[in-house]
Amino acid sequence: MAVGTRDARREHLPGRRTAGAVLAALLLAPACSAPGDTTAGPTAQEIGATLDRRAAAVMEHDTDAYLAALDPRAVSFRAAQRTELRNLADVPLESWAYKVKDVKDRGADRVTAEVELRYRIKDYDKAPMSSSRTVELVRRGEGRTWYIAADRAADGAPEQLWQQGEVEAVRGAHSLVLGVGREAAELRGIADTADRAVPAVTGSWPEPWAERVVVLVPGTVEDMAGLLDSPAASYRGIAAVTTGKVGGSGREPADRVIVNPQAYGMLGDFGQRVVLTHETTHVATRAHTSAATPVWLSEGFADRAAYRRESRTAPEVAPELAEAVRGGDLPAHLPTDEDFGFGEDAGRLSRAYEGAWLACELIVRDWGEEELIAFYRAVGSRSERDGAVEQAMHTVLGTTPQDFTARWREYLRDRLG
């Protein structure tokens, strides 16, 4: 088993386990709030007009127009924004727009606005990605024109990749890899691996999905943490995570797979293939994954898809759990959500993934692959955890959690003992 493979896979779901990922027609529309909102009024409209000019400049790659919306006196800010616009040059944007959410700290010539940036990557995002921003504006000159004086991520909002450096885009048959500070050959290798992962996932998940994936490759693990708004220590042994919103109508923007270049680079071809196939599975199954889906099912299914075509024995795939079972330490229950946390106990995390994988393998052995997929869909169709697994086990598998757990424990003995 490649070094780091077991610790390399985590799904990053807002509101579930870990912290923290526009229509072109909106570009010319006033970026003001809905009627009745506290931001309604001339100030919000003027702010919206300033932001709309900026958005149009981004889409046109017009540096002069972009800088024209910025405070002429904010020299450092203007220089940083010029660099940021240049960093975006290779990103295939389909749309970019702003919506004013709130205006506070109002003054005669200075305001602070809470703004939602909405952008969409061409051919990949079905709907806009969003980023919460805090924007400061000042009014200057005889024309009393509003200019942007500062723009930063709102509290609790992650950084964007182009704020970390110049983005290089590498396009694959099924993938778009966006990297900062990485060699072009490395990005091409990631795109090639992602291109192989997509059809492998389609072979495991017959439900319709986009069959393409966006991969972000920041320069360092610290930069990766910035994209997730989490401490870097949480990701040092993690090769990749997937961000995205669970459930929904299927019209959400595409997930982002975020690679930790240091941990991913330590893996061999096998490990890298497993990591990206695992993460791509999360992208494919997202619309059928909900708050009702236990982590053992989402992670176990993703691992099964990743290992499905690999010629590895169960003890090779699950070495930590195999050692525990052979030592008489047979798990009493399926892995809990907490077992998948970014804690200091790497062995516990490994055993959780391994046990989850074998739970899905058991369903395939005793019920069949179609039933595993039906079980996944049935659990994910519920909006809350209570009773979701129990009901799906009853209706799809004709069993109970108690019986399934007993079968799983015996299965561990058979495969790993």
Put the strands of the sheet holding 145-153 in their side by side order.
93-104, 110-121, 129-140, 145-153
| In contact, 351 and 301? CB cutoff 8 Å | no
Q: What is the pLDDT of residue 20?
A: 30
Q: What is the pLDDT of residue 141?
A: 82
Q: What is the pLDDT of residue 251?
A: 63
Answer yes or no: do 255 and 379 share one domain. no
CA distances from 328 to 147, 319, 341 (A): 68, 14, 24
Print the domain residue range for 89: 24-157
Answer yes or no: do 297 and 389 share one domain. yes
Q: What is the pLDDT of residue 247?
A: 62
Question: Where does a domain end: 131, 157, 183?
Answer: 157
CA distances from 348 to 298, 299, 300, 302, 336 (A): 17, 15, 15, 18, 11
CATH number reported for the structural domain that contains residue 66 in this entry: 3.10.450.50
User: What is the reported pTM?
Assistant: 0.87
Instruction: Give the residue from 321, 307, 331, 303 showing the smallest Cα distance to 405.
Output: 331
Answer yes or no: do 44 and 90 share one domain. yes
| In contact, 198 and 212? CB cutoff 8 Å | yes
Answer yes or no: do 51 and 151 share one domain. yes
| In contact, 279 and 242? CB cutoff 8 Å | yes
Q: What is the pLDDT along the chain (417 residues), one digit of tens a residue?
A: 333 334 444 444 443 433 332 222 222 233 333 333 444 334 778 889 999 999 999 999 999 999 999 999 999 999 999 999 999 999 999 999 999 999 988 878 899 999 999 999 999 998 999 999 999 999 988 878 899 999 999 999 999 999 999 999 999 999 999 999 999 999 999 999 999 999 999 999 999 999 999 999 999 999 999 999 988 888 888 999 999 877 655 566 789 999 999 999 999 999 999 999 999 999 999 999 999 999 999 999 999 999 999 999 999 999 999 999 999 999 999 999 999 987 658 899 999 999 999 999 999 999 999 999 999 999 999 999 999 999 999 999 999 999 999 999 999 999 998
Answer yes or no: do 35 and 114 share one domain. yes
Answer yes or no: do 30 and 147 share one domain. yes
Answer yes or no: do 212 and 311 share one domain. no
Q: What is the pLDDT of residue 289?
A: 96
Q: What is the pLDDT of residue 106?
A: 80
Helix, strand, or coil here: 202? helix
Q: What is the pLDDT of residue 250?
A: 55
Nearest-10 crossing angle of helices 295-307, 184-204: 110
Give just the sign of the alpha carbon dihedral 141, 144, 149, 151.
Answer: negative
Answer yes or no: do 173 and 192 share one domain. yes
Q: How many domains does the chain have?
A: 3
Answer yes or no: do 210 and 193 share one domain. yes
Phi, psi of 160 (to 5 degrees): -110, 150
Please list the alpha-helical segments (H only) found in 207-257.
221-228
Q: What is the pLDDT of residue 342?
A: 73
CA distances from 93 to 9, 60, 86 (A): 28, 10, 13
Residues in Cβ contact with 220 at an 8 Å cutoff, skipping those fewer than 6 apart: 181, 261, 262
CATH number reported for the structural domain that contains residue 230 in this entry: 3.30.2010.30
CA-to-CA distance for 113 and 104, rounded, in angstroms? 6
Question: Where does a domain end: 115, 130, 157?
Answer: 157
Answer yes or no: do 279 and 304 share one domain. no
Question: Where does a domain end: 260, 289, 318?
Answer: 289
